[in-house]
Chain A
Amino acid sequence: DSGVTQTPKHLITATGQRVTLRCSPRSGDLSVYWYQQSLDQGLQFLIQYYNGEERAKGNILERFSAQQFPDLHSELNLSSLELGDSALYFCASSPRAWVEETQYFGPGTRLLVL
């Protein structure tokens, strides 16, 4: 158990809908990272937050957004969902801002868009 929790575990929704994925980092970790894992693209970095502020941005679509709250949990919002958004979404946390620090991954949320 990495200490990172993600909810929900599974999510099934329809095209055009909007969903919110939630992540609670390990106790004391200030950075949260979001990744998408799909069959054809592997693990892709989406976005990083550090202590409430956006720190780095990867291949995140404009339809996707994230935030980190004062209690350090983070939410990833996916809107206008398309079939291709079906994937596993992982969050990871680390103590500080540096990407070289070990990132601890949560168990993931499996999203299926029908």
Chain B
Amino acid sequence: GESVGLHLPTLSVQEGDNSIINCAYSNSASDYFIWYKQESGKGPQFIIDIRSNMDKRQGQRVTVLLNKTVKHLSLQIAATQPGDSAVYFCAEILNSGNTPLVFGKGTRLSVIA
């Protein structure tokens, strides 16, 4: 079953290629950012996070880049696989504390085998 809305931006990528998913966040005072992956019929799953004092952070096959000047976050997935097909959300936290996660609208990644 579907997990999210029908009107998400969609990125189609050939299997084996690299994917770049972008996110414009809303608040220049946000200091912590997270990428989540949501597969069809499942809840969001943590992928990687980054603090505002960093520009780049790498995980396994994933890299997050943060550009605070233009309030832009990107998620790069190397060697995209069919299992990467999902909706990807960025989330931000304002001034690390008791403020809740604010999620972006999401991007649907479709991997073409």
Contact = CB atoms under 8 A, between A and B. Distances in A.
Q: Chain A contact residues: over half helix, strand or loop, or mixed?
A: strand
A101 to B, nearest CB: 10
Contacts of B101: 45, 99, 103
Given A56-B100, A58-B100, A2 B4 contact: no
Q: Chain B contact residues: over half helix, strand or loop, or mixed?
A: loop
B14 interface: no
Interface residues of A, number: 28
A105 B103 contact: no
Contacts of B7: 39
Interface string A29-63: 00001000111101111001000000110100000
Chain B's interface size range is: 20 to 34
Nearest to A45: B100
Contacts of B42: 107-108
Contacts of B106: 42
Contacts, number: 64
B1 interface: yes
B93 interface: yes
Interface in B74-113: 89, 93, 96-106
A73 interface: no
A102 interface: yes
B5 interface: yes
Given A105-B45, A108-B43, 18 more contacts: A2-B43, A4-B43, A37-B4, A40-B5, A42-B89, A44-B103, A45-B102, A56-B98, A56-B99, A56-B100, A92-B43, A99-B93, A99-B96, A100-B93, A100-B96, A102-B46, A105-B43, A107-B43
Interface of B: 1, 3-7, 32, 41-46, 49, 89, 93, 96-106
Which 5 residue pairs across A and B have the least CB separation, nearest first? A105-B43, A45-B100, A43-B103, A39-B5, A102-B46
